[in-house]
Structure 1
């Protein structure tokens, strides 16, 4: 992540200069995207560093979710970038401007090589991690932007049709929006304490009743994620009167791990009436 940020930051200045000299919106759009890439990759790197810090009495879950927050912000940034590109493309389509195709091609080729190197670095990281995915989408958007700039430069160089520059910029903006939405949707779901998308929580209670001897009821079930990899569950289990509480907790946790992949479980064992229901009745 750190190396990808360094590569992106070093080339960004060259692409800005190339976009200004050539008059290419595709290059400037890609440079603007690279600016946010540099920021997002740097934040992502910082997020990983921060996540290594141990939990404390204020943040009992530690700093893991900072990665998800960064992914959410990165996704929103992609929307802003796409909106700016589309606006600039509209302006260029309304008032076409001369574009130096040769300079575009040279800068775009260099940008393509830098983005391929950065994407290759991120490809070797944990692709299930939202922070990595958000950063990779930023770099992929840059890579596509470099391809678009290369194609636009070649077309302008050989045909002098300058409208290809803003038209391809719009195409890249739409790809960026689609990718950004996926990151925002998934990171937002985690921040809202939603259950993991691959897990149907409606099956947990019936499965425990059917497969853990002594369990007669399951309620107050909550499943959420700190990060995509770190899933949590809490539940109340009503068990038969003669069952040992410690043994039932072990059996329930074993089943949650084996069947649902839930390793961090907090289980409250009850006999008969739920303790919360009793407290509510006394209050009433």
Structure 2
């Protein structure tokens, strides 16, 4: 069947220390670092909660890719611990976004819809490319799956940012930006919980196997 993989070569591509996995992580790390620097500056300039939330996502992902590169090839328990750290960090970043969004709502700031739209398109292209590149690793162990979850959530978030830009432009109000930032934060907390749950399961399995 086309698209199915049954030989040893295909299986080796999805191993935690494979050349394909490391190369994908390096590319994703470079893209996320560049996008964080660009988006945080433009998000502040545009006074957009959703752009700033997306920039924090890029920063969190860059850190996660760095951790994944560091534990590639290590024992399952170490990779599970790394995934656990990433899961909690993703949840905390989501909470930080919620606090930032609440502040923007209190301050009554109005974001610049044009800047949001341009940056949203660039971010979608970046995250969409990364998500496609990491798609084949989505069903692997917790550490590798956590990378896929982050990239998937980011691509969804970028679509939401574009919707927020259209909403701000059409309504002349900040509420679409605030709603999208809240949704993105919720996705972050939910994705973090998914990662933590699988990582804890793998740690329990590893501890049981060692006894």
Q: Please, what TM-score do these two structures have when normalized by structure 1?
A: 0.62
1:47 is the counterpart of 2:71: yes
Partner residue, 1:25: 49
1:15 to 35, 39, 42: 39
Partner residue, 2:8: none
Q: Is the contact made by 1:23 and 1:98 (CA closer than 8 Å) also made in structure 2?
A: yes
Q: Is the contact made by 2:91 and 2:190 (CA closer than 8 Å) also made in structure 1?
A: no
Q: Is the contact made by 1:5 and 1:41 (CA closer than 8 Å) also made in structure 2?
A: yes
Partner residue, 1:36: 60
Whose RCO is larger (CA < 8 A, sep 6+)? Answer: 2
Deviations 1:208-227 (A, max 9, x none): xxxxxxxxxxxxxxxx337x
- In structure 1, distance between residues paired with 2:151 and 2:138: 15
Alignment size in residue pairs? 187
Q: Is the contact made by 1:4 and 1:122 (CA closer than 8 Å) also made in structure 2?
A: no
- In structure 2, distance between residues paired with 1:37 and 1:187: 17
Partner residue, 2:27: 3
Question: Larger C-alpha radius of gyration, 1 or 2?
Answer: 1
Q: Is the contact made by 1:96 and 1:163 (CA closer than 8 Å) also made in structure 2?
A: no
1:70 is the counterpart of 2:75: no
1:170-185 equivalences in 2 (<5 Å): 170-185=182-197
Deviation of 1:126 after TM superposition, in Å, equals 5.6
Structure 2, unaligned stretches of length 5 or more?
1-24
Q: Is the contact made by 2:164 and 2:176 (CA closer than 8 Å) also made in structure 1?
A: yes
Structure 1, unaligned stretches of length 5 or more?
52-62, 194-223, 235-284
Runs of 4+ in 1 over 2 A off after TM superposition: 124-128, 231-234
Pairwise CA RMSD of aligned residues? 1.8
Partner residue, 1:121: 133
Higher helix share: 2
Q: Please, what TM-score do these two structures have when normalized by structure 2?
A: 0.82
